[in-house]
Every structure is written in C-alpha cells, then in structure tokens.
A and B are shown apart, each in its own frame.
Chain A
Amino acid sequence: MSTQTLSPAYVRSDMLPAAAPPHRQEGAISWLRDNLFSGWFNSLLTLLGLAIIWSLVSHFWPWFAHSVWNANSLAECRQIIAEKWGDGANGACFAVIRVRWHQYIFGFYPRAEYWRPILTMGLLFVAIAPVLFSVNASIRRWVLAGAGLLCMVLLAVTASPDWSVVLVWLLFAAALLLAEYAPGRLLIVTVFYPVLAVWLLWGGSPWYPFMLLMGFAVGYGVSALVPRGMSAATGIVVTVLWWVFRAAPVAGLVTQILPLSLPAIQSSVFGGFLLSVVIGVSAIALSLPLGILLALARQSNMFIIYSLAVVFIEFIRGVPLITLLFVALVLLKYFLPPGTNFDLILRVIIMVTLFAAAYMAEVIRGGLAALPRGQYEAADSLGLNYWQAQRLIILPQALKISIPGIVGTFIGVFKDTTLVGLINLYDPLKGISDVVRSEFAWKGIYWEPFIFTGTIFFVICFSMSRYSMYLERRLSREHR
C-alpha cells in the first residue's frame, strides 16, 4: 500500500521554461492590431484621430518653430521672423516673456527684494514636507532638494544678492539634515511658517504676526488651567481677547527690545503668480479646517449650529465667487469706518477662504455620509466622546474617502484666484497681460502670455493632482 514510494517515470520533477508566445501575438504589429486597429470601426477612429492630430500640429508647429526669444518689441519680432522665414511667415514672439517674465511672477514687487518671495516659496516646501511627506523619507528628500534647487535657479536669474544665496544654501542644508535625522523637528518650521511668510512678504516687524500666533498658545495654556467642560470655551475667549487687546502692545514692546525689521512692502505691488499663490495657498490652508468644522456642524444634532452651517454653506454656494469678490472690493469699504485701511489682499483671502470652505464642507460631508453607520456606533460603544470619536475613527476615514474631492476643490480655488483681475488686482492671466500690452512695444501680443501662464498653472495643478493620487495609494488599506 505504500504508494508514496512509487515514482512513476512520466512525472516531471522540474518545470518547463515558459515558451515564447506565438509570433503573431507579440511585437509592435500585434500591439497596433490590438489597440488601434481591432476592427473596421476602431481603425476608422484611429485614422480620424491621427488626421486631427496632424492638422493641429501642422497648423501650430510653424508658429512655434518660428519663435523669437530675443527682441525688444513686437515689431522687432515681426521683422526678425520676416527676415528669417520670409514675408508672410507667422511666428510666436516669446521675447515678451523674456523681457517681462519677472512681472508675471512677482508683479510690481521691488526688484531688489525678489529674494523674499523666493525664500518664502522655498520655506513653504520645508513647511509642508513633514506634513505631506511624513512617511516616505526618499520622496521628502527629493521634494526638499528640488525646492532648494528651484530657489537657487530663481535667485540666480533674478540677480539676487549673494548673501541671500548663502542663506538659502544654509536653510536647505539644515532642512535636509533635519529631514534625515529628526523629521519631526521640521514641524517647528510648519508652525511658524505663517508668521515667517507674512513677515518676509510684507516686511515690517515680525512681532505682530508672531503675537497673533501666540494668541493660540496663550489660549491653549489658559484652557489647560481651567476645569474640563469649560476649557474649550475659555481658550477661545482668551485667544480672541489676546488678539484684540494684548497682541499689538506686546508686539510693540518686543519690537522695542528686538528691533528686527525688513523694508515694508505695500499690498498694491503684489501681482502675477506671487499674488495667485499667496491667495491660493492661504485659502487652501484655511479652508480645509474651516470646511471640516462646517461639515461636522452640518451633521450636528444641535439645532442652532446645524442651522447656521446650512445657511452659511447654502448662501455661499448660491453666490458666484465674483460677487463675493466685488463685496470684498466695494461693499466692505462702506461698512468700515472712514480711513480704515483694511488690506485688499486680506479681504480677498477672507472671501476666497469662505467660498472654498463652503465647497469643502460639502465634499467632506460626502465622505462622512459614505461611512457605514456601524463606524459611528462602534465609536460610541467604545465610550469615546464626540471629539475623540471624530478624531480617531470618523474623520480619518471620511477624509481619506474625500481626498479626490478635496484636491479637486483646491485646484479649483487656485485657478479661481485669477478672478481677482476683475477687482483691480494684477492676476497673472489678465492683469499683468494688460499691463504688458499697454506698452506700445508689446501692443498686439496675445497668445504668448496665455501659453506662458497656462504652462505654469498646469505644472502647479498637475502636481497637486499627482500628489492626491500618491496620497490615495498610500492610504488605501482595503486591499492589502
């Protein structure tokens, strides 16, 4: 009965190597047949697509190929093109970008101070790296190195002072070292980044924005001292009281002790992508927490909170952004006392933030609604209170579900910042282009600025979109 010991001669003891597929199933021809010509209808569509691509390329290619990068006026461009390619030839005049690119990026920001927005942008990457790339050290390294390199290139082309280059070298060396050995410490930069950014961009004394940030610390400190139950409310009240009554005098005092100051820059000189990014990044960073609170409020059982959230969200979503911007520009001025100089960019940031927060709230509400009821009940059965349940169980899942929607809203907000061109700010798309065209040398230029600004917008928005896909992959737990 010992069948195991039998070893029949026809059983193989080793695997055969995989044979090559049949000749007709591999190679370029097979791929073409499978993907492009798998039937008469698909073949027709393929040919049609090729024809469209060909007509587009043959139409636009000469225009690109005849580009002129070195000229001082549109007339000079035309002359160069006519000399080189004959009369009647069409060509792009990208020389306008070469001459005016700094206005597309920085608006009317003083040229000697270009290092400040550049450094602010570099620090932005240092600040977001520990938050957005907290897990993967190699991606963090590449992002930081890339940002540092970008800063160096920008400093070089704007002919910034040598010491600013050294400063950026040192900063990024320190950031890279920290990112390698103590990535958690980078969060310090994240916390102080808003103060640093405001100080670098607008100049003056850093202590006033710093004291505004300190308000949170003071509020938190006081709330830790009072008994539970009252602590949150006390903290908020103390924070607001600090902002209203103590921030300015304390800032004044510290300024006298430590007079740290940069030349002050007026908001009216902000323009181009500097303006778009300042408004976009602020609105993005502020609208996410605000949107989460609004979404939670809309799910709340408390009648007043629920009603306020519904009214706010539906009102804001029912009004076009441009209307809110006009309110920021014109109406607010009527409501404020005479002589108040409430910064226009700040007004716009507030309006764009409120607008984005309303949309964000609905996106996150979708995520909350997608969670099975069992998750809420599981949190309750563990004895977690409301905030613990939200923080530990509900929001991590709801936010993960909402990532595509959240990033979609971010991208939308960033592109919407070009609307500020309609309320007397120099947005990169229309505002700066109008300025450039108003010099006679560039009057009549049309597509080249659109292509330039469009490319930069594409790079930024595409990066955001790729990041959201990376985040989704990293956070997916279902199919492990």
Chain B
Amino acid sequence: MKTTVFLGAAAATALMAGAGFAAEGDTLAQVKARGELLCGVNPGLVGFASPDANGNWSGFDVAVCKAVAAAVLGDASKVKYIPLTGQTRFTGLASGEVDVLPRNSTWTFSRDTDLKLDFIGVNYYDGQGFLVPKSLGVSSAKELDGATICIQTGTTTELNLADYFKANNMAYQPVNIDSNAEGEQQYLAGACDAYTTDASGLAATRAAFANPADHVILPEIISKEPLGPAVRHGDNNWADIVRWTLYALIAAEEYGVTSANLEELSKSSQNPEVQRLLGSTDNLGQMMGLDADWAKRAIMASGNYGEIFAATIGEQTPIGLARGLNAQWTQGGLMYAMPFR
C-alpha cells in the first residue's frame, strides 16, 4: 500500500506535467458538459444562503446561482451548492471545486489582483457596523474607546476594525470568534461589549435575539463591503456570462420586468431596451455563447433583483433590511446595470 501511494504520487506528478492546472480551461464548456453548475455558497448565512429541512437552498446569493444555471443550462435547479468556509472559499474557486462564488465576499484590491479572482460585479453593498446592548449607554461608535469587541477571524471586518480604531486614536480588546453563532453566544454572555460584522448580519442577529429591543446597531458604518460573485481569473467569457446575468436581474427591475409580467412583456413591450434584454429583437446571448432567451430564463428563476431582495432579506422578511444603497440608481441607490446593447 505504501509503495502504491508513492507510485500514485509519481503518476499524479507525471499527469500534472502534461495536463497543467485543473482549474484552467473553458468553464462554459465544462458546465455544459457536466450539466450542472457548481456554485460556492456560504453554508449558513441567514437570508443569503440557507438549505431548508428538505435540503432545498434559498437566499439572496443562491438566487445568483439559480439565475446563472437558468441562463446557461436552461434549468434553475441544475445547481450543485458547495458550502465553502471563510478559509476555503478562494482556494475552492481557484482549484476548480466551484465554477462561481457568490459567497458574500468583499471585493478588495488584493483579492482581485493577488488572489487571481475576478469579481464580476456587486450584488449587495454592505458595510461594517456595531451591535451593542442598550445598557452600555453608547450611542456612537466613537464612544467605544477601550471596549472589548467580538470579531470574526479571517475576514475583512477584522482589518477594518483595526483601521477604524487606529484612525480615531482609540484602543480596543478583540475577542476572536470563529463563527457568527459563536459570536452571538459570546456577545449575549457578556464576553464582549460590542459585536461587529457586516450590517446585514447584525440586523439578522439582532432580529433573532430573545429581546431585540435591548440591543442597538450603532449608526456608524465603518467600512465599504461590496459583496459580489467572483469567478476565476482568465476565463473572460465565463466572467461575462456571470456578470451580464447579474446585470440582467438588475436591469429587469429598472425596466419593470418581473417574473410575473415577463412572458407578456417579451411579446408586447415597445421598449427597445427590454426587447433586447429579453431577446425579442437582437440575439445578445449568442455573443457570449448562449441562446437568445438566456436573460428571460435568468429572470424567471427567482424574479428580478428587487423581487429577490424582497423575498430573501427585504423589509417583509424577519431580517428586515431596507434597500438603502442597494436601491436602483434611479431611486438614489447604487444598483446600476450597464446598457444592454
């Protein structure tokens, strides 16, 4: 057995010399040949990616997976969700374990360049905030000098926190935690004065407390956390497909195309932009190796951007996030799809 291992290693090395890296190549062709999209998601983030008791996934990030699968494979259910931890997400993408990574990852300079990822856009503009108990009597993050703060390791939030306190000439005691669940426990047990993570996560955490009214989210947002799907560097066509699928969802909201009126609009709409988007006139899909109906199927999968937002994390859900920065640019937000032309 021992020698088998060495022989195996030798054989693998020989194969590698000829084959190059597993991750390179034509992702679109691989996905079509496999008949399944490998989508890297957060295994447990309320509202963004969550499997129910029957193993059906839903959530804001999952909707991106479904839309891409619908656009590429014609079936939103042909997705294999690969749960990736904070530590394994980027290696998982680089090694070819997943095709696309919509896993609430912040788009940063070093991740885009050094880690050889391509962020194809932003599906949620988040920012880091603080959750404190009301009894602490603090109304601004500027008053947190000397506080103990629960912070998840291995995330950008850890670095932002250090930056913010340094810039404001304050001191803090970090309490390192491994997961959101552990952070909540530590915070509730009084191990730290404040809990910091993305504001969307704080809202969900606070909403799930026994007494949400005893806790406040401080008004300061100390960082920019543009969360977006990432793909591997080097396969530009695949990046285009994922990017324009996301834009199709955003543009659909802007033009008032919903999953309900989609069929009707594709026949009757007089708006040339809508006609191009839904493939009624030009065949835009062909330019990136898809058919004319790709965007129609992507929007059908779980609705346009606004519908997805409302169904997964919006104000009607227990998480209750307002659109804020994530409103359309016409409504004072940052969601801005490039023209379909």
Contact = CB atoms under 8 A, between A and B. Distances in A.
B55 interface: yes
Contacts of A266: 80
A433 B181 contact: yes
B35 interface: no
Contact of A440 (B19, B30, B318): B318
A435 B15 contact: no
Interface string B252-270: 0000000000000000000
Contacts of A332: 12
Interface string A278-313: 000000000000100110010000000000110010
Interface string B318-330: 1100000000000
Given A438-B46, A440-B204, A444-B209, A308 B2 contact: yes
Interface in B192-249: 204-205, 207-210
Interface stretch (B64-72, B84-92, B289-297): B84-92
A426 to B, nearest CB: 7
B340 to A, nearest CB: 33
A431 interface: yes
Contacts of A102: 53
Interface in A61-108: 74, 78, 99-100, 102-103, 108
Contacts of B50: 435, 438-439
B19 to A, nearest CB: 4
B210 A78 contact: yes
B49 interface: yes
Contact of B25 (A338, A426, A434, A437): A338
A256 interface: no
A439 B20 CA distance: 41
B19 A337 contact: yes
Contact of A339 (B6, B30, B80): B30
Contacts of A426: 43, 83
Nearest to B15: A337
A109 B25 CA distance: 32
Contacts of A103: 53, 55
B97 A424 contact: yes
B322 to A, nearest CB: 17
Contacts of B55: 103, 108, 269
A340 interface: yes
B52 A340 contact: no
A189 interface: no
Interface string A396-420: 0000000000000000000000000
B44 A338 contact: no
A108 B51 contact: yes
B30 A308 contact: no
B88 A338 contact: no
Contacts of A433: 181
Contacts of A326: 88
A357 to B, nearest CB: 8
A349 to B, nearest CB: 14
Contacts of A423: 85, 88
B208 A99 contact: no
Nearest to B182: A446
B2 to A, nearest CB: 6
B315 interface: no
A336 B2 contact: no
Given A336-B12, A424-B83, A294 B210 contact: no
A364 interface: no
Nearest to B179: A434
Contacts of A290: 1
A76 B36 CA distance: 38
Contacts of A55: none
Given A309-B2, A423-B88, A426-B83, A435 B97 contact: no
B185 interface: yes
A438 B43 contact: yes
B51 A438 contact: yes
Interface string B23-55: 111000010000000000011111101111111
Contact of A424 (B49, B85, B317): B85
A100 B97 CA distance: 28
B29 to A, nearest CB: 10
A435 B97 CA distance: 20
Interface string B4-24: 011000001101101111111
A334 B22 contact: yes
23 contacts: A103-B53, A103-B55, A293-B2, A332-B12, A333-B23, A334-B23, A336-B16, A338-B25, A423-B85, A434-B44, A435-B43, A435-B50, A437-B46, A437-B180, A437-B181, A438-B43, A438-B49, A440-B207, A440-B317, A440-B319, A443-B204, A443-B208, A444-B181
Interface of B: 1-3, 5-6, 12-13, 15-16, 18-25, 30, 42-47, 49-55, 80, 82-85, 87-88, 91-92, 95-97, 179-181, 184-185, 204-205, 207-210, 317-319
Given A330-B95, A424-B83, 13 more contacts: A100-B53, A294-B2, A330-B88, A333-B22, A334-B16, A335-B15, A338-B20, A340-B22, A434-B83, A435-B83, A437-B180, A438-B43, A439-B52
| Ranked 4 nearest A-B pairs via Cβ | A438-B44, A434-B44, A438-B50, A108-B55
Interface of A: 74, 78, 99-100, 102-103, 108, 111, 266, 268-269, 290, 293-294, 297, 308-309, 312, 326, 329-330, 332-340, 354, 422-424, 426, 430-431, 433-440, 443-444, 446
